[in-house]
């Protein structure tokens, strides 16, 4: 499968575009945008979410900005 250096090699050319995309999201004060990757039923699911730090040091997902259907990948 993939090791860490292979994954980094695949992602490196995309990082400037991903950074620009995440920075262009419509966020409220204190929110940050994150890309979540998950495998559900053997299909990759991608969500772009807004998160906000809580007082206890954890983060709370405040809203889903985009939900990408596995059929569209």
pLDDT along the chain (73 residues), means of 10: 84 90 92 92 92 94 91 78
Residues 45 and 71 sit within 8 Å (Cβ to Cβ)? no
pTM of this structure: 0.76
Q: What is the pLDDT, as a whole number, of residue 71?
A: 82
Helices (H), 1-73: 4-11, 15-23
Assigned token pair, 41:
């039923």
- Residue among 35, 22, 30 at smallest CA distance from 54: 30
SS3 29: coil
């Amino acid at each position: 499968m993939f090791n860490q250096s292979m994954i980094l090699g695949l992602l490196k050319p995309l990082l400037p575009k991903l950074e620009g995309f995440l920075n262009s999201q419509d966020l409220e004060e204190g929110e940050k945008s994150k890309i979540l990757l998950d495998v559900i039923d053997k299909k990759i699911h991608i969500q772009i979410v807004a998160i906000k730090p809580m007082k206890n040091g954890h983060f709370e997902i405040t809203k889903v900005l985009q939900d990408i259907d596995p059929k569209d990948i």
